[in-house]
Structure 1
Amino acid sequence: MNEAIIIQKPGYLFGRCISQTSRFYNPFTNKNLSELLWFSILSIGLLVNCEPSQMENVCDVNSQSFSKAVAAKSILGDTNSHCSVDGKSGGLGFTIGGKVSGLTGNGLRLILNKDTQLLLPAGTTEFSFPDRIPVGSGYEVNFATQAQGNFCELTNPIGKIFNRDIKEIEIHCFQSCINCKIFVTQNAYPANAGKAANFDSFCQSDPNYPGSGKFKAMLVDGESRRASFTPNSGEKQIDWVFKANQTYIRDDGTNIESSDNNGLFITGISTPITTISSDHWTGLNTDWTTNINGTCQKWNSNSASDSGIVGDAYTQDIITLTAGRGLQLCSVNHELVCVEQ
């Protein structure tokens, strides 16, 4: 067995005090390679004197303890987040929050990392989620539900935790529409927008845009936008486009229908959204749940090997509106149904 004496003085290696006579098995026949490995470890500060050292916060990214711990985890192949905690139990980590303006209605509910929800009452000007997020972890804030009488928008909702609480997220709220318009885009759009919410900008720039108002696209991916987690219930909605008990009309003022208590249409609509047949992306099943195999890889693919669910807006029944044209190739562009907020 090849051995190399590589400890020249007492010290700690990975938490163990090593004496001068300690030996390490050298799996290489080249002694210089073993010594090179030793000096590499020594150079990043993993070997320290056996004397007691000053205590530091190992989760303080400015401390030597933090740097040593991260380096040791890297060498040992530990890929877990440093200072990781269970957010719901509190403890180490940093909070996510920001400012709110213009919130006049109740019911605004935020969702953090597709899990933790936070309800903001009318008049709220600041917010902070109770969960603490580990250093090095990402965060994303979205709307679970909008406030009554308001349409709110997010600024800086996505980022990564480094060494402080996040306070830069902004929520700006405006008065929502009373009789809200729905239209079908003139143009057809590619499937690979990145996520469901990214299609909203197409609604604002399409030639059929009515000229005023904020619109969102009626399609889902189950993550950035969800209509219902279970059939026809509106459960666990995320940034859904229809409000509860809201009247919807065409651009010419023709009444379409009023949504139910969950922001859905279950039995049908009184008037078709459009006067001609359409084929628009939805990603929906006929019961408003997300079709996990019908979102073009969560709207990241325009490949002919992937498929997305397409509906037809020239109808009064929900089956046709949500999924009437079935699965279509993601390589072919399709229209959008756009809903005023």
Structure 2
Amino acid sequence: MKKIYYLFGFFLMFCFHCKKANLCNPADIESQCGILNLAFQKPISFGPPKKPQCSPCRMFVSATSYNANLQGISGADVKCSIDPNKPADGIYKALLVDDVNRRACTSANCSVGGITEQIDWVVAPNISYYSLNTSALIFTSDLNGVFTGSFATTMSAPTGIWTGIKNNPSWDWQTDTSHTCTSWSDNVSANCGTYGVTSWQDSRAIAITSAYGNGGTLNNILCIEQ
């Protein structure tokens, strides 16, 4: 009998030190803590795309020309940031695509998916872009962050600019994946990169039709303020 009392006493002592089990399931919205969890969880943001720091924004053609080994997209961005034409203020990136690290569109003028088609694209939707040198308006982007009209004026004195944009007869903004000079690391291959010529005011300013630059060709970079 004493053994039973001892066991009962031990059981009571053990239970006094027990913590109440937490049977609340946060995923159960009918339980108290489930409702609290639902009330205090962070909302998912479906807001508009992030606006650039500049508005309006500026653009310039690099003072320095380069062969197609730009050390990739990031290397081209660095070249924009240290170019003699860059002002003291502002962040500038290269209008240059390789379809992996930077992309404008996967459909013509982003007509299918809009800005969801883009990767680290440098032109923001519905922003006016001005020449840094002349302060003249060049273009105002559309809601997809591209442009399909005629530039208000030329970007600069005639020079070639590496872009990687598909050179269709009209505006397209898709990457010419066969002509990015191996993601802008090749200064040897012939006809490896697409380029534009800044003296044009139509799509040829970004991508010359039916012409490609050799890897060793010296072209400039179009730098866009962010």
TM-score by length of 1: 0.48
Say which is worse superposed, 245-254 or 296-305, in terms of deviation.
296-305
Question: Which structure's CA Rg is the greater one?
Answer: 2
The RMSD of aligned alpha carbons is 2.0
Match of 1:256 in 2: 138
Q: CA deviation at 1:121?
A: 6.5
For 2:208, the equivalent position in structure 1 comes to 324
Residue 301 (structure 1) aligns with: 186
1:310 paired with 2:224, answer: no
How far apart, in 2, do the equivalents of 1:305 and 1:254 lie? 36
2:155 pairs, out of 273, 278, 281, with 273
Deviation at 1:269, TM superposition (A): 1.6
Which residue of 2 is the match for residue 216 of structure 1? 93
Residue 283 of structure 1 is matched in structure 2 by 164
Amino acid at match of 1:147: K
CA contact (8 A) 1:297 1:306 kept: no
Q: How far apart, CA to CA, are the structure 2 residues paired with 1:240 and 1:194?
A: 18
Does the 8 Å CA contact 2:164/2:194 hold for their aligned counterparts?
A: yes
Tell me if the contact between 1:197 and 1:225 (Cα under 8 Å) persists in the aligned partners.
no
Residues in 1 aligned to 2:80 and 2:49: alpha-carbon distance in whole angstroms: 19
User: What is the aligned-residue identity percentage?
Assistant: 32
Q: Distance in 2 between matches of 1:284 and 1:255?
A: 22
Following superposition, the deviation at residue 206 of structure 1 comes to 1.0
TM-aligned CA deviation for residue 195 of structure 1: 2.3
Question: Equivalent residue for 1:336?
Answer: 221
Is 1:245 the counterpart of 2:126 in the alignment?
yes
Greater strand proportion: 1
What SS is found at the alignment partner of 1:307?
Answer: coil
User: What's the offset of the Cα at 1:259?
Assistant: 0.4
Tell me, in whole angstroms, the C-alpha distance in 2 between the residues paired with 1:198 and 1:262.
Answer: 26
Segments ≥4 residues shifted beyond 6 Å: none
TM-aligned CA deviation for residue 146 of structure 1 = 5.7
Over residues 63-90 of structure 1, what are the superposed CA-to-partner deviations in whole Å (9 max), with x where a residue is unaligned?
A: xxxxxxxxxxxxxxxxxxxxxxxxxxxx
TM normalised by structure 2 equals 0.71
- Aligned AA for 1:283? G
Taking CA–CA contacts closer than 8 Å with sequence separation of 6 or more, which of the two structures ends up with the larger relative contact order? 2
Structure 2 runs not aligned, ≥5 long: 1-43
Q: Give the match for residue 17 of structure 2.
A: none
Amino acid at match of 1:334: N
Q: Measure, in 1, the Cα distance between the counterparts of 2:202 and 2:173.
A: 13
Q: Which amino acid is the alignment partner of residue 321 of structure 1?
A: A
Structure 1 stretches of 5 or more lacking a match? 1-118, 123-144, 151-175
Please report how far the alpha carbon of residue 210 of structure 1 lies from its aligned counterpart in structure 2 after TM superposition: 2.3
Q: Per the alignment, in what secondary structure is the counterpart of residue 201 of structure 1?
A: helix
- Tell me the alpha carbon deviations over residues 94-149 of structure 1, each in whole angstroms, 9 at most, x when there is no partner: xxxxxxxxxxxxxxxxxxxxxxxxx8678xxxxxxxxxxxxxxxxxxxxxx9612x
Which residue number corresponds to residue 203 of structure 1?
Answer: 80
Report the Cα offset of residue 258 of structure 1.
0.8
Judge conservation of contact 1:256–1:273 (CA < 8 Å) in 2: yes
The answer to whether the 8 Å contact 1:215/1:339 transfers is: yes
